[in-house]
Structure 1
């Protein structure tokens, strides 16, 4: 008899039918799967229903608010939040089920292994990429950030073994488009906080990032995909501050 705490898997989706099937299949161990969809028209909703998910439609509010809403729709207090292109590995599933027999923390993080240009990244920025995705919603929840949202949890966060496999197979063009959107959203938040960009941040932030992840975090061991992944990360750091400088100058009288 399974004595663990009941668990709800929670996803937000929009037009992700191409990656969703293995994600849902790996969540079969959960007591329910809740999918909150934002007007998909590619069969995402139908695929989720075919896998036994409870599907709700909700207009897009930004990543943090959308995920908070999705968590609120779960039947159980313990929730596992997964993206539509992520797959829970067998080792991670076993670790989750073991821990939920007698949880010691309000929230748990585990490694996320990113697949980029056909290769799983095991170093640099790509790994371990610890992700806090399992939590008791009575004590923890997503922040309200529109982008770069995070789970805010009290006390010490537990850590589980086993990888969350990130199976994004998007092209470099689409990946760069997404990074461009993310930097624009980040600038909006920085403006609200009153942040300012300096020449030092503009120049040094990408350089420090490259040295940290390519050399100290041994990103060079991931070959060409690792180099490209880190280089794009440095570019987004540069663009974030460049866009902030532009936004500041445009708002000057």
Structure 2
């Protein structure tokens, strides 16, 4: 049977990481990369693994890439601290590890939750993320946020779901939004940032709520679409702010 490593990057995830690690406890190797948590994240992680590394946060690709570089297993599963491996997914992964010729990488179906309920529309419903791959066959694309894994070789798809408990409340949304928009904001955009502030929030809402049928998710869907529009405004406002600091 091939060995499995699970890699998690974390920062102040004491409310989530225990659930993620418990679901990953079947793995042969668990690697945590912590970017300076000031809560009990590290203490909670020590209940499941001693392989905890500290790293300055330089974007998600960098910290997760550090974790995968330290993984010892034949296959690597990249897991976020606010995710949970279902029993069905665990069994599927075990079956894959025992196959004669598994694929080099797998995109895993992810079920997303917002404010305590599942989001089936808003563009969140048909969510497949590349998470499981042969050690040495995958790399991150270098993006600081909303990073992707690029796999060299043949790809498969896993329908057994990974649960993603993102944004359990509004406070968590705005905390993460502040962090993510800072990472996503590009300097030197000038007039483009102004255009983005004016139009991007409305376009984002329209796309998610109408084109992606977010209205079918009820009040949660409406709130998510509004928050996503606000996030677009904040991102472009931060781009304009960077321009101010550089005299533009």
TM-score (norm: length of structure 1): 0.84
Match of 1:180 among 159, 178, 191: 178
**Equivalent of residue 50 in structure 2, options 51, 54, 59:** 54
Corresponding residue of 2:119: 121
What stretches of structure 2 of length at least 5 have no aligned partner? none
Give the Cα separation in 2 of the matches to 1:201 and 1:169.
25
One of 126, 148, 158 as aligned partner of 1:160 = 158
What is the CA distance between 1:88 and its match in structure 2? Answer: 0.8
* 1:66 Cα offset (Å): 1.0
Distance 1:186 1:42 in 2: 25
Cα distance in structure 2, aligned partners of 1:38 and 1:77: 26
Could you report, residue by residue, the CA deviation over 1:121-154 in whole angstroms, capped at 9, with x for unpaired residues?
Answer: 1111332332221112312112333322221223
Unpaired segments of 5 or more residues in structure 1? Answer: none
Question: Alpha-carbon deviations, 1:202-237, whole Å to 9, x = none?
Answer: 444333322322123221121111111121112212
Deviation, 1:249, is 4.4
Distance 1:195 1:67 in 2: 32
Q: 1-side partners of 2:100 and 2:195: how far apart?
A: 49
Q: 5 Å matches for 1:35-184?
A: 35-51=32-48, 53-62=49-58, 63-100=60-97, 101-154=99-152, 157-168=155-166, 170-184=168-182
RMSD: 2.5
Distance 1:48 1:177, change over 3 A: closer
TM-score by length of 2: 0.86
Which one has the bigger strand percentage? Answer: 2
Change (3 A) 1:89 1:103: farther
Change in 2 beyond 3 A, CA 1:102/1:60 = farther
Distance 1:183 1:198, change over 3 A: closer
Number of aligned residue pairs: give it: 246
The 3 A distance-change label for structure 1 pair 169 and 98 is same
Q: 95-104 vs 19-28, which deviates more? A: 95-104
Once the 2 structures are TM-superposed, how far is the Cα of residue 102 of structure 1 from its aligned partner?
4.2
SS of match in other structure, 2:5: strand
- TM-superposed deviation, 1:198: 5.7
Q: Is the alpha carbon distance of 1:102 and 1:177 closer, same or farther for their aligned partners in structure 2, counting shifts above 3 Å?
A: same
SS in 1 for 2:127: coil
